[in-house]
Amino acid sequence: MLLRKIYFVLFSIVFFQAQAQERILNFDVKIKIEKSGNINVVENITINAEGNDFRHGLLRVLPLSRRDKDGHQIDVKYTINSIKKDGATENYFTKEESGDWKIYIGNKDIDLERGIYDYQISYTVPFQVGYFDKYDELYWNVTGNGWNLLIDKATCEISLPSENNAFENLHCYTGTAGSKASDCISSLNTNRTVASFAAIQLNNYEGLTIAASFPKGIVDPPTFLQEASSFYKQIKTNLWSVIYGIGMALFFFFSWKKYGKDPVKKTLMPEFMPPFDWSPAIIGYVYDRKITRKAYMSSVINASVKGAIRILSTVENGVFKNKQTYEIEVLNNLSQKLSAEESDIVSGFTKKDKIKVSDSNYKIFEKAYSKWLKAVTKQIKLEEFYQNNTQKKWLGFAIFLIAGLAYQLLSNNKGYINYAFYLGLIVAVSGLAYWFTKKEIGVGMLVLRGILAFFILPAALFIFFVSIAFLSTIQIVVIGVVFLMYIFYARTLGKYTQKGADALHRLEGFKHYMQTAEKDRMNMLNPPELTPQLFEKLFPYAIALGVEIEWGKQFAEILELAKYDPAWYQGEDTFYMQPAMFLSSFGNSVSSAAVDPSPPSSSSGSSSSSSGSSGSWSSGSSGGGSSGGGGGGGGGGGW
């Protein structure tokens, strides 16, 4: 007797726990196939709410895309007819998120009391009938496979447009997505006008999918415009990928041809002396199209060669390693006239007889460099020789950005990111105003330009690249290829003017002469004789053009035989044995000397799921389908 009471108590506990579990008690769906091909769906979902997942109401998730019978991805559009709870109209709101359409039924400010509730969702969906050669078919995922809830019972009833119509084959599938199990029953009424399906005890993420075929002609086939629209949706990703890729390639090519193609190069002819009587610094500045350390070093060495200063080298013994130190001795014993920038360097050293090349004298070297820089850039207007076309590069980037946003918008089937695209498009267009603003502007416009440059364009860029995460593989590949095209375009858009091309031609000839080995020099017409004086005269130019090593190798034997001991250099080592090593060591010392050794410090201060699209669509009514296939689907839960 006692044992029977214990058993009764345990059974009651288990029974009431099962009753108290949140789940779907009944998932009943009625589908009416219209002659137009649309289907009207009425979902009656009965839930047991215990205040866990179902805090405010029911969440129904429906996919916004699916694959048709040919495997093409197509959009799915839902039109809600009504939503009710316990027979009365209920509040709801919707969201598009991650490829799904989410219907939140209930009020976020009102908690749902424990109990059993009947929800009804009525909606219409177009283009869900599959048109085969010998029959038509509705292949529908009744419940969806995205419920993290038990479903005690799932049923579905389908009716055709007229009572004179009849179904042919029926099939149903159960289980998780992809399962071909058929733990369900299907039946027809007497005149075969209504098809019924049922399944029980569906576990988490399991669903019921049905398929029913019927004779052709019952449902109107798609019109030409509908088929054209459907075909466009099938190919629009590939179509716009081709248009975007080819369009951007053509834009980059013709823009480069107009703004970035250099004048035709002439046959290279060696130059034996500096072209245009330019100083080494000017030659280096024009050749590199920017200020470089080697151009500055060439001026220092040239001033030394001309007798204005002398470089003194000593070796300080260290605990682990000896250290090469340098001093600059002011001579003012000029053998040749200094260039403007060389004079500015020397003028900064005249306050002392000797200046140690060290950061303790950084103010002297910093001032000398600043005066040198100003003198070089004052003599040569680089834009007369080379057009960097920076504005054209930014314009190309803005067009890449805007076209990329438009491409994503036009080629993407997922409407839920359109808002991001529109926002990105707007801010990108706004950013263009920065690059079209004239230089002669007031303070207010300068502020606007700063805002556009530092906030608007970065925002557009951020939106553009964040939206890439939602794209298909082909879209990502196309955008990546176009971006690589832009990088190549931007790197090659700079263009020499005719004046610059002529100057570069002569500088290349001069450089070619200085780096040509002795065995190839015989091919040149009357090159000058290699002497220590020629080495010394052109050594600063070799530094400016970056061929000091090649220039030094040509004179190695000549300088050694002559026991070359330059007046402008004095040191413990033999200069002619390692001119390149000297240049590297001395250059590093001068660069370090121009830097403040003690710069100011700075301080720094419920669960639901869906696949995003419904399953594939083969002929489900012939047994070739699976759970999760066809239209419909999705999932849901509480919220």
Domain ranges of the chain: 20-228+612-638, 390-492
* 444 or 247, higher pLDDT: 247
CB of 313 closer than 8 Å to CB of 582:
yes
The pLDDT of residue 249 is: 96
The pLDDT of residue 445 is: 59
* 211 or 444, higher pLDDT: 211
Residue 478's contacts (CB-CB under 8 Å, 6 or more residues apart) are 241, 244, 245, 407
Per-residue pLDDT reduced to its tens digit, 333-342: 666 789 999 9
The pLDDT of residue 190 is: 84
CA 568 to the chain's CA centroid: 55
Q: Which two tokens stand for residue 222?
A: 């798609």
The pLDDT of residue 442 is: 56
Pick from 9-18, 131-140, 620-629: least confident: 9-18
Q: What is the mean pLDDT of residues 241-267?
A: 92
What is the reported pTM? Answer: 0.60
Q: What is the mean pLDDT of residues 50-79?
A: 84
**How sure is the predictor about 511, in pLDDT bands with cuts at 50, 70 and 90?**
very high
CB half-sphere exposure, 553, CA atoms < 13 A: 9
Q: Which two tokens stand for residue 437?
A: 């603003």
The pLDDT of residue 627 is: 72
Q: Which two tokens stand for residue 294?
A: 């080697």
Would you say residue 436 has pLDDT above 60? no
Would you say residue 266 has pLDDT above 80? yes
CB of 47 closer than 8 Å to CB of 117:
yes
The pLDDT of residue 173 is: 93
Q: Which two tokens stand for residue 606?
A: 């419920």
Would you say residue 460 has pLDDT above 80? no
* 32 or 638, higher pLDDT: 32
* 626 or 96, higher pLDDT: 96
The pLDDT of residue 236 is: 83
CA 544 to the chain's CA centroid: 39
Q: What is the mean pLDDT of residues 363-384?
A: 91
d(CA 624, CA 349): 91
d(CA 303, CA 271): 23
Q: What is the mean pLDDT of residues 296-315?
A: 90
Q: Please tell me which of 89-93, 268-272, 311-315, 593-597 the model is most confident about, judged by mean pLDDT.
A: 89-93
Per-residue pLDDT reduced to its tens digit, 600-626: 433 333 445 554 455 555 555 555 667
The pLDDT of residue 59 is: 93
The pLDDT of residue 597 is: 45
* 417 or 310, higher pLDDT: 310
Q: What is the mean pLDDT of residues 520-542?
A: 83
SS3 at position 118: strand
**How sure is the predictor about 123, in pLDDT bands with cuts at 50, 70 and 90?**
very high
Instruction: Kindly give the pairing relationship between strand 569-570 and strand 309-316.
Output: parallel
**How sure is the predictor about 16, in pLDDT bands with cuts at 50, 70 and 90?**
very low
The pLDDT of residue 131 is: 85
**How sure is the predictor about 437, in pLDDT bands with cuts at 50, 70 and 90?**
very low
Q: What is the mean pLDDT of residues 48-63?
A: 91
Class of domain 20-228+612-638: mainly beta
The pLDDT of residue 421 is: 56
Pick from 134-148, 289-303, 559-573, 617-631: least confident: 617-631
The amino acid that residue 517 corresponds to is: A
Would you say residue 227 has pLDDT above 50? yes
Q: What share of the chain in percent tops pLDDT 70?
A: 77
Would you say residue 7 has pLDDT above 90? no
CB of 513 closer than 8 Å to CB of 272:
yes
Nearest by Cα to 165 from 254, 291, 34:
34
Q: Which residues of 153-169 are buried (b: 16+ CB within 10 A; e: fewer)?
A: bbbbbbbbbeeebbbbb
Pick from 210-219, 433-442, 500-509: least confident: 433-442
Q: Which two tokens stand for residue 218?
A: 């019952």
The pLDDT of residue 519 is: 59
d(CA 262, CA 145): 62
The pLDDT of residue 207 is: 93
- Residue 196 burial (C-beta neighbours within 10 Å; 0-12, 13-18, 19+): middle
CB half-sphere exposure, 336, CA atoms < 13 A: 11
**How sure is the predictor about 211, in pLDDT bands with cuts at 50, 70 and 90?**
very high
Pick from 42-56, 224-238, 505-519, 546-560: least confident: 224-238
